[in-house]
Structure 1
């Protein structure tokens, strides 16, 4: 909870105590509480901002303020009610206040974790259209493939910009964005309205930090049906350590993608069969390759921007989560410009002729990976298509390890511990899509291993965490090729 939210709840309970236990003759106490609570209520509403979780607290506080102030008026009638009714009403009020406070705690206004790196981070968003590629996910045959990408980079923030909001600042755009999210989640729109208060650690459109050498580049793809917004903290973390990071929204495969003209696209593509996964995977791979083309133009000056000459295209990595992780693997294999890649808990959609990858690669899997391996061993000899694909994937992992790469898993994590979703609410754990590990701890572990990998492969430094188990991160387990 935010500071004035906490103070508001405390003042509300203090007013209730005053009404129940402090005599009417104690005017100074009552007046002090009434005035103080009024100030806290106004500051919370107009500075921090209203949110629906505290509605009961707002109503009770305003009501208690009026009663406390007027109870000292000579014209105030001294009403007497029986103890049973008095304490029954008080108990009901306390229960309602606890419920409202609980909603505020478990559906919090969250900010992304503070940065570990030495640099401040700037961010800028671009809209790219691939004129050479038809959009196959819409009915309009004239549509071309459009992508929204966000660039994260080191900055000095010379202009002292305010920290950027995680979601669109424009009220109309935010409303459209949230409408798409709420429809996908089958929730009323107002439930997500408080997301407008969440902030990143980045500064929008600030100037890139001057450097004697260009910055290595990492492209990041989200999972199927999610969004680049769920990987903002990972992008920020790498940028704070001297990388330029580009997060991609794969249009029509997200909860919502917002375009500059106000259009919001939602999720359209099914990937229930292996054939559908492969077709969609090819679209995503081409998305990443196209974005690399555009970054080359930004760096050369063909597209006017502040990034001219600032990007080290000879040290380019890709990473992704889930379906985006599979895309990172596929792009690393196919595109000669990619030097190294990371797959965060993603099952591969293309395993044919992929076992001879000769570039540095790392698979980071969730805590269920060890159990999955044990269960798969029982079915390894099955002839069905899915089992064969999984067997080929394990063979690829073994080759990655044998060529100097890594396959690790993080105990206590589940699939969405590799995203920022774990910061949105502790209640998400109840769904099982995040594990028992503390969200910030899980995020920090993943960030440290991602950073160490790209430092080694793209900067030629670090790599200590990749050598084997660490006392600092006992949750991380290394897979031996013989286990595969």
Structure 2
């Protein structure tokens, strides 16, 4: 809960208590005036949202009651004094409960030296047609949000999501402020800045990992987060056009489709996402050369990286196979598709995986249904492909204990019930710290060619939840012995 929301709720409860206490009844008016002032500040500066409606309704009820002259309240409505106070208190408590269930969560502060700016851009790739558009021949359209190192600015803090891209339940996110300033000037010092392409998960959205994209920007990276249209959960295109995920999860439902059908669907979508990434990187490269662009001379698209969550991680790794500008890629808890073996050894990858609390025993094949068999087959194929790729080309596998698939996104912040439904999982702050640290260290090592202590061979991890496996490419003569032995384990 935000400061003035807490103050407003507390003020209304105090006013209700004073209203029901004859000796303190005169304080009710004072609390009501304070409540009005706090509510005005809340609406204008914090931004109100549906969870606050009961408390605001309670404030209106309280003010309306107190506007009735005291003599008339005493003579005509004496029995209404306590019911009004109880209603105000209940409405305030209702808001408090709603804010516990659907909280105005707070994103962690970026840890780097740069302030963070953000801007949303619309792009049209006229060289491709959109196969899912209602009108044949429609060009592929994309919305991209850029997080970048900025100069200090008084620009308004950016909202977590645009109002048009929310639904009624999530509309509060349009007044949930991030740590980034809208359209802040790009940092004048320290560039040009390497570009990182971020891909959301299947039916995800570009803002789903803001905890990570803001942090990377604060350390001197320009992060281009892509809404992959017609798969992203909700996208606003010019002309007030709203595009939702039109397929849902049906095409990848293991109860409805075989492994072969699912893989075919994924590979088709993967090719589209990779084409999106190439187009966006090309666009940013052109902007860097355009003297009229705010990005002129500030971007390094030749030292680029890619990252993503779930299916977006597969798209990030696949970029290594098609674009030599990509120096490295990070896949956060996702299966891999396409052909991992087409990337060269100078494009290392990092795979981050969540490990369920207590681990899990493999299911009995005799009791497995068709869906479980399909998932087991996909798991086995992915494990083999990833390990083969790491042995051949090098990279890292980072396993984080007591975490789940959505812990690699902002979801743990959105869902406070996690502490009760998943009590063995590590805290949101802990998983965010770990993911931020390893992703940043990996890109600093592979793009900036530094030597982060976190990834130095032979050192221990500062995180007890982490097991990291490091492979060196087989193609390097100095790595022959390493390649013949089990990967180096850092605990």
TM-score range for the pair, normalised by the shorter chain length: 0.7 to 0.9
Match of 2:467 in 1: 477
Match of 2:156 in 1: 162
CA 1:244–1:12 in 2, change beyond 3 Å: closer, same or farther?
same
Which 10-residue stretch deviates more, 272-281 or 109-118?
A: 109-118
2:111 and 2:215 in contact (8 A); partners too: yes
Matches within 5 A, 1:271-420: 271-272=251-252, 273-301=262-290, 304-351=292-339, 353=341, 359-368=347-356, 371=359, 375=362, 387=376, 389-402=378-391, 403-420=393-410
SS of residue paired to 1:145: strand
CA 1:50–1:202 in 2, change beyond 3 Å: closer, same or farther?
closer
Match of 2:170 in 1: 192
Match of 1:36 in 2: 34
Distance 1:425 1:282 in 2: 33
Match of 1:134 in 2: 129
Distance 2:398 2:364 in 1: 18
Distance 2:83 2:28 in 1: 23
Match of 2:103 in 1: 108
Which of 449, 463, 470 is the matching residue for 2:438? 449
SS of residue paired to 1:211: coil
SS of residue paired to 2:326: coil
CA 1:471–1:363 in 2, change beyond 3 Å: closer, same or farther?
closer
Match of 2:61 in 1: 63
Distance 1:274 1:338 in 2: 25
SS of residue paired to 2:107: coil
Distance 1:477 1:213 in 2: 34
Match of 1:12 in 2: 12
1:31 and 1:68 in contact (8 A); partners too: yes
Do structure 1's residue 124 and structure 2's residue 119 form an aligned pair?
A: yes
- Using the TM superposition, give the Cα deviation of residue 256 of structure 1 relative to its aligned residue in structure 2, in angstroms: 1.0
Distance 2:73 2:184 in 1: 60
Distance 1:62 1:141 in 2: 52
1:333 and 1:357 in contact (8 A); partners too: no
RMSD: 3.5
Which 10-residue stretch deviates more, 397-406 or 99-108?
A: 397-406
5+ long unaligned stretches in structure 2:
253-261, 472-485
If the length of structure 2 is used for normalisation, what is the TM-score?
A: 0.81
- Using the TM superposition, give the Cα deviation of residue 438 of structure 1 relative to its aligned residue in structure 2, in angstroms: 2.4
- Using the TM superposition, give the Cα deviation of residue 252 of structure 1 relative to its aligned residue in structure 2, in angstroms: 0.5
Distance 2:338 2:426 in 1: 31
Distance 1:266 1:53 in 2: 25
Distance 2:15 2:296 in 1: 60
2:113 and 2:218 in contact (8 A); partners too: yes
Distance 2:26 2:90 in 1: 28
1:217 and 1:243 in contact (8 A); partners too: yes
Distance 2:30 2:89 in 1: 22
- Using the TM superposition, give the Cα deviation of residue 319 of structure 1 relative to its aligned residue in structure 2, in angstroms: 0.5
Match of 1:421 in 2: 411
Match of 2:51 in 1: 53
- Using the TM superposition, give the Cα deviation of residue 34 of structure 1 relative to its aligned residue in structure 2, in angstroms: 3.8
Match of 1:171 in 2: none
Residues 276-304 of structure 1: per-residue CA shift (max 9 Å, x gap): 11111111112112222222212232x95
CA 1:142–1:29 in 2, change beyond 3 Å: closer, same or farther?
closer
SS of residue paired to 2:209: helix
CA 1:367–1:86 in 2, change beyond 3 Å: closer, same or farther?
farther
CA 1:200–1:55 in 2, change beyond 3 Å: closer, same or farther?
closer
- Using the TM superposition, give the Cα deviation of residue 20 of structure 1 relative to its aligned residue in structure 2, in angstroms: 2.6
SS of residue paired to 1:124: strand
Residues 167-210 of structure 1: per-residue CA shift (max 9 Å, x gap): 23xxxxx34x22xxx3xxxxxx2x33322211222222222112
Which 10-residue stretch deviates more, 467-476 or 237-246?
A: 467-476
